[in-house]
Copies of this chain bind each other. A is one copy, B any other.
Amino acid sequence: MSTSPSPENLRMQIRRGKHTGMTSGLCQGYVQCNLVILPTAWAADFTQFCLANPKPCPLIATSKPGEFKLPELGLDVDIRTDISSYRVFEDGLLTDERSDIRSLWRDDLVVFLLGCSFSFEEAILAEGLDVRNISEGRNVPMYRTNIDCEPAGPFSGKMVVSMRPFNKPDATRATDISARFPRVHGAPVHYGSPELIGIKDINNPDYGEAVTINSDEEPLFWACGVTPQVALEQAKPPFCITHSPGCMLVTDVLNSNFESK
């Protein structure tokens, strides 16, 4: 197993096209972020959507219009080049997927970075619990629920959740551990009965892949960072850029900085 690079080193590799693809499992210990970029005219409503729905949309940083440097997340960070794959949406439709957005940059674009479940998964693993999607090498299973987000301007939609199964004692511990990380989704929003939150078939997730649930285990559901993407699809802004799934911004911020003590 090779040593993982530092966040700065990984960002440099991504910027130079030497690292492509996902960032999961890399730079353990450091916060990774979901990305949304919107025109200024849409920024205030999206900010309010995030503040009103902090569990699925935990806002970590935002930029001034036109600003692509984010020194608070890493001195060298340039959001136009430091993510390995970007998705470009026009009027809500995916129109492009690319590894560099410098040629698309505009002075009216505002950057939003949102917390990601990697941080609390790492904390759960660190306490010796089994995180099923990791031990089975799959993308975490995610489901659209019947839980309405608080709307804000054009942004609304159902909450998307991710699921990790645990036996009873481990479920309590996983809940307590993730509750200490409110800036990266926090404690589960539901556990036990998928049907109560509108999930018909736990073995058939809407995104990601199903994982094994053993007979002594119950499913725990966490608010998921796909929620803002669903709200964006519905709001259909004229122009929007996000990261491609799994290709996050790797920051210099330690996960431990995000833990409530």
| Inter-subunit contact B64/A153 (CB<8 Å) | yes
Q: What is the 8 Å Cβ interface bit string for chain A, positions 96-134, against chain B (1 contact, 0 not)?
A: 000000000000001000000000000000000000000
Q: Does A74 belong to the interface (CB within 8 Å)?
A: no
B72→A62 contact, CB < 8 A: no
Residues 173-192 of chain A: 1 if any B CB is under 8 Å from the residue's CB, otherwise 0? Answer: 00000011011001100000
A179: chain B residues at CB < 8 Å are 180, 260-261
Alpha-carbon separation in the docked complex, A182 to B181 (Å): 9
Q: Is A52 at the interface (CB under 8 A from chain B)?
A: yes
Binding stretch for chain B, among A20-28, A41-49, A138-146, A164-172: A41-49
Chain B residues near A152 (CB, 8 Å)? 72
Contacts of A182 in B (CB 8 A): 182-183, 186, 260
Known contacts A187-B260, A260-B186; A51/B44 CB under 8 A: no
* A187/B261 contact (C-beta < 8 A), A48-B61, A64-B153 known: yes
Min CB–CB distance A253 → chain B (angstroms) = 10
Whether, in the assembled complex, A57 has its beta carbon less than 8 Å from a beta carbon of chain B, the answer is no
Nearest neighbor of A151 in chain B, beta-carbon distance: B72
**Neighbouring B residues of A59 by C-beta, 8 Å:** 51, 59
- Give chain A interface residues in 58-74, CB to chain B under 8 Å: 59-65, 67, 72
CA distance A261 to B191 in the complex (A): 12
Smallest CB separation, A7 vs chain B (Å): 18
Query: Does A54 count as interface, using CB distance less than 8 angstroms?
Result: yes
Instruction: Establish whether residues B52 and A72, one from each chain, have CB atoms under 8 Å apart when the complex forms.
Output: yes
Residues of the B chain whose Cβ atoms lie less than 8 Å from the Cβ of A67: 44
* Contacting residues, chain B, for A48 (C-beta < 8 A): 61-64, 72
Which of B60, B65, B180 meets A44, CB within 8 Å? B65
Find the B residue at minimum CB distance from A258: B54
Question: Which residues of A (222-261) have their CB < 8 Å from a CB of B?
Answer: 260-261
Q: Which residue of B lies closest to A48 (CB)?
A: B62
Known: A48-B63, A179-B261. 19 other contacts (CB 8 A): A44-B62, A44-B64, A44-B67, A44-B110, A45-B64, A47-B62, A48-B61, A48-B62, A48-B72, A51-B60, A51-B62, A52-B72, A59-B59, A64-B153, A179-B180, A182-B182, A182-B183, A182-B260, A187-B260
Residues of chain A touching chain B, judged by Cβ–Cβ distance below 8 Å, are 44-45, 47-48, 51-52, 54, 59-65, 67, 72, 110, 150, 152-153, 179-180, 182-183, 186-187, 260-261
